[in-house]
Structure 1
């Protein structure tokens, strides 16, 4: 018989709900910042934290005019929540497997600016998965590569699609497709009307380039390195900076095409190949449910390039 700890309440569904509220508040670094994530008012979040503290018998965090800060007890409880939630999710997956059903929730994280990439038909993969697992609720979240990997490691994502190879030992990654990127400037940039390639190449040494927070642009095929500029984590923010006319930067060709057609951008040095960005599909080696395996297979089937016969 398992020994019970005196004065420690049994966990109920209500307690788990309160713990998830606490976890969300910590992740958001405060009650106010967690309102949008939880869809709750500030007063409701405060009441639920108080209820949790009363249930546990100690204070989890300091909140007020001095800001949000975890107590020592709160830090210990928060560190235990990810394995707790993973265990609950894993148990549900086991029950679903025993029943022969694919059910529950599957959280997929992906970078932005892929909807226009015909080499990456994500909608087809989603369609196939929906047919294979109609009982699974698919959640799709767009985030930066750094946040995607962190979310996978923390169990917030079951599967991620990223242009950075997940090199962590607990992550299994599969290369899927590549994406060609070229160097662009906006219509208001001084180089927009320059046609001489040698002059453009020379001017790049004194031109400010946007840089991605997750990847190096160094390549033997790239032009000489311009001045360092703003660091971005999303293609959308990169495009906005390029459109400002103050910076040049690399964008996927499929993503920039419509701005080029409208005369708002142009490719600099069109005779150079740019570079290929390799994308990877990542899943956890330790927490991969049958639903995740089916989803991964659906993704690989449509995203991987056809093998030469």
Structure 2
């Protein structure tokens, strides 16, 4: 067992090793983290071993059974997220004192955004980059549950999400609505009779639900025969195209599949609905770069959105 050192004095090397460890945790393994880090799995393993020696604890298990954090590793990971967030905020404050925007901003959003011409996320990012060229922008895609959790624990600075019931410690600003329709694939039994269906017949079919809607009191996801679950639109599209499941997709995302006759929507008048996407950030957020990104998102994506 590694002997625990009497104390720890952080150096730039320790912070670099800690960032490598955080990347490995995010990707759940050495090999999966190599693209982000630009390092081989062997080099990453050596760095983690060095970090374990510095801290005097074993951080993770790796081997044939796969990657997993130890109990000590979980605590170090959580503390490391807080520490690195503080370092980034400090860099931002120093930049503010010098009259410039600097530091790092973490934006989290759901998938299937790129096909929505009415919510040009790319244009908002271009505006932000032009106004704050020295800020490091991290963009990650996650499920609505993970987006909110990572915002609360400090991993994300701001999120864009359809979550309807945010936490009391955050501020949520509605930006735009996104129409959702129920689809079936061309190999599904209902495809050729889509115009002759009853609601009862549709609800009897195997259905792919969204994990973040479980437990919510709503009529959108209830009444269907749930046979598959996922939190990502790409996965829903694959399951629909299999011809075995019905599922909801954003209209803009499904449109190419519809045009290629790979999908068709069902009972639009009865079953379609709108998801409201909101900009969400912590109420105590004061980072100037984060606030600037939030304003850019409001200006480009928002319709009658109130200013921060």
Please, what TM-score do these two structures have when normalized by structure 1? Answer: 0.85
Give, in angstroms, the shift of residue 10 of structure 1.
2.7
1:181-200 equivalence runs, <5 A: 181-197=180-196, 199-200=197-198
In the TM superposition, what whole-angstrom CA distance separates every residue of 1:197-225 from its partner, at most 9, and x where no partner exists? 4x4323123211110111269756x6982
Q: For 1:117 and 1:191, how far apart are their aligned partners in 2?
A: 27
Query: Which residue of structure 2 aligns with residue 233 of structure 1?
Result: 231
Query: Which residue of structure 1 aligns with residue 204 of structure 2?
Result: 206
- For residue 266 of structure 1, give the secondary structure of its aligned residue in structure 2: strand
Q: For 1:87 and 1:223, how far apart are their aligned partners in 2?
A: 40
- For residue 168 of structure 2, give the secondary structure of its aligned residue in structure 1: coil
Give, in angstroms, the shift of residue 31 of structure 1.
4.1
2:281 to 280, 283, 301: 283
Query: Which residue of structure 2 aligns with residue 3 of structure 1?
Result: none
Q: For 1:114 and 1:183, how far apart are their aligned partners in 2?
A: 18
- For residue 147 of structure 1, give the secondary structure of its aligned residue in structure 2: helix
1:305 to 288, 291, 303: 303
Structure 1 residues 150 and 243: CA distance shift in structure 2, 3 A: same
User: Is 1:115 equivalent to 2:114 in the alignment?
Assistant: yes
Note the aligned Cα RMSD (angstroms). Answer: 2.7
Q: In structure 2, list runs of 5 or more residues that go unmatched.
A: none
Contact 1:90/1:287 (CA < 8 Å) preserved in 2?
no
- For residue 151 of structure 1, give the secondary structure of its aligned residue in structure 2: helix
User: Is 1:173 equivalent to 2:175 in the alignment?
Assistant: no
Contact 1:210/1:249 (CA < 8 Å) preserved in 2?
yes
In the TM superposition, what whole-angstrom CA distance separates every residue of 1:51-106 from its partner, at most 9, and x where no partner exists? 223334x2333645585565565454334222211221111111111111012322
Q: For 1:71 and 1:260, how far apart are their aligned partners in 2?
A: 47
1:1-309 equivalence runs, <5 A: 7-56=6-55, 58-61=56-59, 63=61, 65=63, 73-165=72-164, 167-197=166-196, 199-215=197-213, 225-272=223-270, 274-306=272-304
Give, in angstroms, the shift of residue 287 of structure 1.
4.2
Q: Single out whichever of 242-251 and 103-112 deviates more from structure 2.
A: 103-112
Q: In structure 1, list runs of 5 or more residues that go unmatched.
A: 1-5
Structure 1 residues 280 and 87: CA distance shift in structure 2, 3 A: same
- For residue 178 of structure 1, give the secondary structure of its aligned residue in structure 2: strand
Contact 2:213/2:221 (CA < 8 Å) preserved in 1?
no
Q: For 1:80 and 1:224, how far apart are their aligned partners in 2?
A: 39
Q: For 1:76 and 1:183, how far apart are their aligned partners in 2?
A: 42
In the TM superposition, what whole-angstrom CA distance separates every residue of 1:241-286 from its partner, at most 9, and x where no partner exists? 1111111111111111222122111111133361111111111233
Contact 1:166/1:173 (CA < 8 Å) preserved in 2?
no
Q: For 2:60 and 2:289, how far apart are their aligned partners in 1?
A: 39
Q: For 2:81 and 2:101, how far apart are their aligned partners in 1?
A: 23
Q: For 1:165 and 1:34, how far apart are their aligned partners in 2?
A: 32
Please, what TM-score do these two structures have when normalized by structure 2? Answer: 0.85
Q: Single out whichever of 200-209 and 296-305 deviates more from structure 2.
A: 200-209
Q: For 2:50 and 2:250, how far apart are their aligned partners in 1?
A: 50
Q: For 1:185 and 1:125, how far apart are their aligned partners in 2?
A: 33
- Matched length: 299
Contact 2:89/2:103 (CA < 8 Å) preserved in 1?
no
